Amino acid sequence: MPGAPVLDSHALLKLLRDEPGAEAVSLILEKAGQRDQPVHMTEVNYAEVQYTVRRKDGDAAWTAIANELRAAPIEFHPADRQLADLAAYFKVRHKISLADAFAAALAKERKTELVTADPEFKPLEKEITINWLE
């Protein structure tokens, strides 16, 4: 793997909810911190995590999580024009959400793997490397 991986929102939500796959995500983050090489996530996926937590668990839960994320070894990337163009490419070619298209675009742009358990990414396996959470 050339660089630090990209997390999609599904992967981070698994960790936050202690669902199957959470341990793998925790290990990825632990290694990222030890190497001082943060993993990557788009701001679009950050927004998806935020609205999911706020809808299901409320604003107070999100505030606590947002505070924890500030210290996490995750580099959040804005949706600039180049990334948006690549996300649009994936969105046109595959039946995936816009947030998932941005996660795939970031993995492609950074030439690294995408960490997810979201089956929506299955059709993209020939275009990006996917680290499937169990």
Count how many domains the chain has.
1
pTM reported for the whole predicted model? 0.94
Query: pLDDT digits over 16-29, tens only?
Result: 999 999 999 999 99
Measured between alpha carbons, how far is 121 from 103 in angstroms, rounded to an integer? 10
Is the residue at 75 inside a domain? yes
Query: pLDDT digits over 72-114, tens only?
Result: 999 999 999 999 999 999 999 999 999 999 999 999 999 999 9
Is the residue at 107 inside a domain? yes
User: Which parts of 3-80 fold into alpha helices (H)?
Assistant: 9-16, 22-35, 43-57, 59-71
Q: Is 77 helix (H, G, I), strand (E, B) or coil?
A: strand
Is the residue at 31 inside a domain? yes
Residue ranges making up the domain that contains 112: 6-132
Structure-token match 């990006």, residue found: 128
Is the residue at 126 inside a domain? yes
Is the residue at 84 inside a domain? yes
Is the residue at 20 inside a domain? yes
Is the residue at 80 inside a domain? yes
Strand 130-132: give its sheet, edge to edge.
74-77, 39-42, 6-7, 114-116, 130-132
Is the residue at 1 inside a domain? no
Best CA proximity match to 102, nearest among 89, 120, 115: 89
In this prediction, residue 2 carries a pLDDT of: 63
Cβ-based neighbours of 123, under 8 Å, separated by 6 or more = 94, 95, 96
- For the residues of 53-65, what is the DSSP string, one character each? HHHHH-HHHHHHH
Instruction: Return the CATH number at 30.
Output: 3.40.50.1010
